[in-house]
Amino acid sequence: MSYFKHHVFFCCNQRDGGQDCCNAMGASTAFAWTKERIASLGRSGAGAIRVSKAGCLGRCDIGPTLVVYPEAVWYTYVDQEDLEEIIQEHLIGGRPVERLRRE
């Protein structure tokens, strides 16, 4: 069984030596914002959607990355507007956001 309708993992990996990594591109801030936003949605949010930090997801090449399971949809995001769209459209509405999706 799944405990959550959606389980979102934010890559918050920090690489040494100034290499590109999700954390250097604001991942921890994006994670914290999303977690709080989901909590504010009450039962439709916190009860059904879990937001977790993750170590390196291995996609440093595509920018700040998150993955939504169990549907295994990968995204990159730039700002809170992108995150809000993922929350409203995908996590609540059930429709993946194609413009942010990465293959």
- Can you give the binding site for its own copies, defined by CB under 8 A? 1-3, 7, 9, 12, 50, 52-59, 67, 69-72, 74, 103
Closer Cβ to its own copies, 49 or 86, answer by number? 49
Sequence letter at residue 11: C
Closer Cβ to its own copies, 37 or 50, answer by number? 50
Closest Cα partner for 21 from 54, 63, 53? Answer: 63
- Least CB distance to its own copies at residue 54 (A): 5
CA dist., res. 76 & res. 64, Å (int): 5
- On whether the CB atoms of residues 52 and 8 are closer than 8 A, the answer is yes
Closer Cβ to its own copies, 49 or 87, answer by number? 49
